[in-house]
């Protein structure tokens, strides 16, 4: 199957490629030009229930969990190697679905291979621990068992990367799973299943359902046979999933949105801060959960910094993903562009001023879902544009004086995914970073992450962590095994019938 395939047996259930049970399909279109990329199966609830049954049966048979952890790790290393071999094909598929620049998809594929390699190496190293029970006749130990059947739900902005952050630790831990990628971006998930199949993962361990969240995805949080749901996406969907998962008391991890502050002090390296502020706000047209969408600039440099930001933002070259001159691409869909358009209109209604952008792409860009890089200033505190994610190329500007006000503004959000502080004063950078309420804080940088460092949010950005040690723990249950090698009668409860002797006679 290739990215532009019209093969509609694209659900992977119990080790077999299958079409939707009602024959439903969905067209996938390239957001840069609206061209047809492929037609894939659209799963029904019954298809997802079949996938859950397959994952449950595979887990209960122990087909994967009984494979020694170091061997599971070796398997993940093989996946990483195969992804590197097939990088071009995967990157092309990701780019056609998302419209992002090919070079960005290539970077994503490297990151995905690195995530598999990281969890591959981790798998064998987390063998539990012995606990000192304070009694020489007791052997007490902690073992980490797989949680069980996992529902993995991913968004469209980094389709395979977000899925990989879930698939790799789930497999490392010995779980089975059902992956539900965004209905808009299915192709790299299909390719990923091909790799897992070809490398010999037992049937039923990895399952793929495609389609609308409310149909193909919903059973994952509702069904009693799913033990864990790991979701990356928007807050409103996260709420629905949390409520529905509560009914069967599942473990859940929610990686939600962000409204991330990028704090620039007057003593920052101006050029580096400016360059990175553009990157923070506009890379992938702002469709990044950790986008630096709230720019906070210290008063003494604010005017110059914002003027330069606007000057540079106007020059950003939008275009198709294969044009080497392109610096950023389109929004994912016409519906999403309508949302961003309405968001900016509301900001203006609430008093914000558009310094640049605020319109759709024209000319050649009119074929796709392009929206121009947009800078908003004069944004009132507590207005929607400061509180809610645009998830598009929109940055708001606020100004501050001194550390306390910087921290107050940075933390004035219900979200807490990420943020950055720019200053050449090391002490100040550390103080501010510590006071910022976010899962990741960059000092004099924006956007880098490491597979070995936990990723996740405070507050409305969700809970649970991906990557790092905690990223594996999400997929494990800790079990305490207490072994008394020298059992004794304790006489906690007395045998009253025999308290005067075995024959019941007073002695």
Query: Which residues in 52-91 contact ligand NAD (CB under 6 A)?
Result: none
Query: Among the candidate windows 33-41, 80-88, 115-123, 181-189, which touches ligand NAD by CB under 6 A?
Result: 181-189
Q: If binding is defined by CB under 6 A, does position 237 make contact with ligand NAD?
A: yes
- Judged by beta carbon, residue 61 or residue 339, the one nearer ligand NAD is 339
Helix (H) or strand (E) holding 13: strand 11-13
Residue 430, helix vs strand vs coil: helix
Query: Among the candidate windows 195-203, 230-238, 311-319, 426-434, which touches ligand NAD by CB under 6 A?
Result: 230-238
Distance CA 53, CA 47 (A): 10
Q: Can you tell me which of 255, 298, 398, 474 binds ligand NAD, judged by CB under 6 A?
A: 255
In the complex, minimum distance from the CB of residue 259 to ligand NAD, in angstroms, rounded to a whole number = 9
Query: Among the candidate windows 104-112, 174-182, 186-194, 341-349, which touches ligand NAD by CB under 6 A?
Result: 174-182
Count of positions on this chain that bind ligand NAD (CB under 6 A): 32
Q: If binding is defined by CB under 6 A, does position 42 make contact with ligand NAD?
A: no
Q: Who contacts 312 (Cβ-Cβ below 8 Å, separation ≥6)?
A: 274, 278
Q: If binding is defined by CB under 6 A, does position 43 make contact with ligand NAD?
A: no
Q: Would you call 255 a catalytic residue per the annotation?
A: yes
Query: Among the candidate windows 42-50, 166-174, 180-188, 400-408, which touches ligand NAD by CB under 6 A?
Result: 180-188
Q: If binding is defined by CB under 6 A, does position 164 make contact with ligand NAD?
A: no
Q: Can you tell me which of 180, 187, 223, 259 binds ligand NAD, judged by CB under 6 A?
A: 180
- Cβ–Cβ < 8 Å for 168, 119: yes
Q: If binding is defined by CB under 6 A, does position 289 make contact with ligand NAD?
A: yes
- Judged by beta carbon, residue 248 or residue 500, the one nearer ligand NAD is 248
| Catalytic residue, candidates 183, 255, 298, 466 | 255
Query: Among the candidate windows 45-53, 156-164, 167-175, 319-327, which touches ligand NAD by CB under 6 A?
Result: 156-164
Q: Can you tell me which of 31, 73, 169, 217 binds ligand NAD, judged by CB under 6 A?
A: 217
Q: If binding is defined by CB under 6 A, does position 464 make contact with ligand NAD?
A: no
Q: If binding is defined by CB under 6 A, does position 326 make contact with ligand NAD?
A: no
- Judged by beta carbon, residue 274 or residue 347, the one nearer ligand NAD is 347
- Cβ–Cβ < 8 Å for 477, 145: yes
Distance CA 16, CA 157 (A): 28
Q: 505 — alpha (psi -120 to 50), left (phi > 0) or beta?
A: beta
Q: If binding is defined by CB under 6 A, does position 98 make contact with ligand NAD?
A: no
Q: If binding is defined by CB under 6 A, does position 163 make contact with ligand NAD?
A: no
In the complex, minimum distance from the CB of residue 420 to ligand NAD, in angstroms, rounded to a whole number = 16
Query: Among the candidate windows 111-119, 151-159, 166-174, 320-328, which touches ligand NAD by CB under 6 A?
Result: 151-159
Residue 82, helix vs strand vs coil: helix
Q: Who contacts 43 (Cβ-Cβ below 8 Å, separation ≥6)?
A: 11, 20, 24, 51, 209, 210, 211, 215, 216
- 136-to-17, 217, 486, 489 alpha-carbon distances in Å: 55, 51, 9, 17
Neighbours of 482 (CB within 10 A): 10
Bridge partner list, 263: 296, 421
Q: If binding is defined by CB under 6 A, does position 156 make contact with ligand NAD?
A: yes
- Cβ–Cβ < 8 Å for 161, 112: yes
Q: How far apart are the first and last CA of the chain?
A: 87
- Cβ–Cβ < 8 Å for 9, 204: no
Q: If binding is defined by CB under 6 A, does position 232 make contact with ligand NAD?
A: yes
Q: If binding is defined by CB under 6 A, does position 177 make contact with ligand NAD?
A: no
- 44-to-19, 179, 180, 445 alpha-carbon distances in Å: 10, 14, 12, 44
Q: Can you tell me which of 155, 204, 330, 468 binds ligand NAD, judged by CB under 6 A?
A: 155
Q: If binding is defined by CB under 6 A, does position 241 make contact with ligand NAD?
A: yes
Residue 421, helix vs strand vs coil: strand
Q: If binding is defined by CB under 6 A, does position 450 make contact with ligand NAD?
A: no
Distance CA 307, CA 162 (A): 35
Q: Who contacts 102 (Cβ-Cβ below 8 Å, separation ≥6)?
A: 91, 92, 95, 321, 322
What does the H/E/C string look like for 308-363? HHHHHHHHCCECCCCCCCCCECCCCCHHHHHHHHHHHHHHHHCCCEEEECCCECCH
Q: How is residue 29 written in tokens?
A: 């279109």
Q: Can you tell me which of 391, 400, 422, 475 binds ligand NAD, judged by CB under 6 A?
A: 391
Q: If binding is defined by CB under 6 A, does position 438 make contact with ligand NAD?
A: no
Query: Which residues in 12-31 contact ligand NAD (CB under 6 A)?
Result: none
Binding site for ligand NAD (CB under 6 A): 153-158, 162, 180-183, 213-214, 217-218, 220-221, 232-234, 237, 240-241, 255-258, 289, 389, 391, 417, 457
Query: Would you please indicate which residues are annotated as catalytic (active-site) residues?
Result: 255
């Amino acid at each position: 199957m290739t990215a532009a395939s019209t093969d509609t047996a694209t659900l992977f259930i119990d080790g077999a490629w299958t079409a939707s049970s009602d024959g439903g399909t969905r067209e996938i279109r390239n957001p840069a030009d609206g061209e047809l990329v492929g037609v894939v199966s659209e799963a029904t609830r019954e298809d997802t229930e079949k996938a859950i049954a397959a994952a449950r049966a595979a887990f209960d048979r122990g087909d994967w969990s009984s494979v020694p952890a170091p061997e599971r790790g070796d398997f993940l290393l093989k996946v990483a190697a195969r992804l590197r071999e097939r990088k071009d094909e995967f990157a092309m598929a990701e780019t056609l679905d998302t419209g992002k620049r090919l070079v960005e998809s290539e970077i994503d594929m490297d990151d995905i291979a690195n995530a598999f390699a990281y969890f591959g190496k981790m798998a064998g190293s987390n063998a539990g621990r012995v606990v000192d029970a304070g009694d020489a006749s007791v052997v007490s130990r902690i073992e980490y068992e797989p949680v069980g059947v996992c529902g993995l739900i991913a968004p469209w902005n980094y389709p395979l990367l977000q899925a990989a952050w879930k698939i790799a630790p789930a497999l490392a831990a010995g779980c089975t799973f059902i992956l539900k990628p965004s209905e808009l971006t299915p192709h790299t998930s299909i390719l990923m299943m091909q790799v897992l199949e070809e490398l010999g993962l037992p049937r039923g361990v990895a399952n793929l359902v495609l389609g609308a969240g409310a149909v193909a995805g919903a059973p994952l949080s509702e069904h009693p046979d799913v033990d864990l749901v790991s979701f990356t996406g928007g807050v409103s969907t996260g709420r629905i999933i949390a409520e529905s998962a509560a009914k069967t008391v599942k473990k859940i991890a929610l990686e939600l949105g962000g409204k991330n502050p990028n704090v620039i002090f007057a003593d920052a390296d101006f050029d580096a801060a400016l360059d990175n502020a553009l990157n923070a706000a506009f890379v992938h047209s702002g469709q990044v959960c950790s986008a630096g969408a709230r720019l906070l600039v210290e008063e003494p440099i604010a005017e110059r910094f914002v003027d330069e930001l606007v000057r540079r933002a106007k020059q950003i070259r939008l275009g198709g993903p294969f044009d080497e001159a392109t610096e950023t691409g389109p929004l994912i869909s016409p519906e999403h562009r309508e949302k961003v358009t309405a968001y900016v209109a509301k900001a203006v209604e609430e008093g914000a001023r558009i310094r640049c952008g605020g319109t759709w792409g024209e000319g050649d860009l009119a074929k796709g879902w392009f929206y121009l890089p947009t800078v908003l200033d004069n944004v009132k505190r507590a207005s929607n544009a400061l509180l809610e994610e645009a998830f598009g190329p929109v940055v708001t500007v606020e100004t501050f004086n001194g550390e306390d006000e910087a921290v107050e503004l940075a933390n004035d959000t219900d979200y807490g995914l990420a943020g950055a502080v720019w200053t050449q004063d090391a002490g100040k950078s550390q103080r501010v970073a510590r006071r910022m309420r976010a899962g990741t804080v960059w000092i004099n940088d924006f956007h880098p992450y490491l597979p070995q460092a936990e990723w996740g949010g405070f507050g409305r950005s969700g809970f649970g962590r991906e990557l790092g040690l905690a990223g594996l723990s999400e997929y494990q249950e800790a079990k305490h095994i207490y072994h008394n090698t020298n059992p004794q009668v304790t006489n906690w409860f007395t045998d009253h019938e025999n308290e005067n002797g075995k024959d019941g006679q007073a002695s």
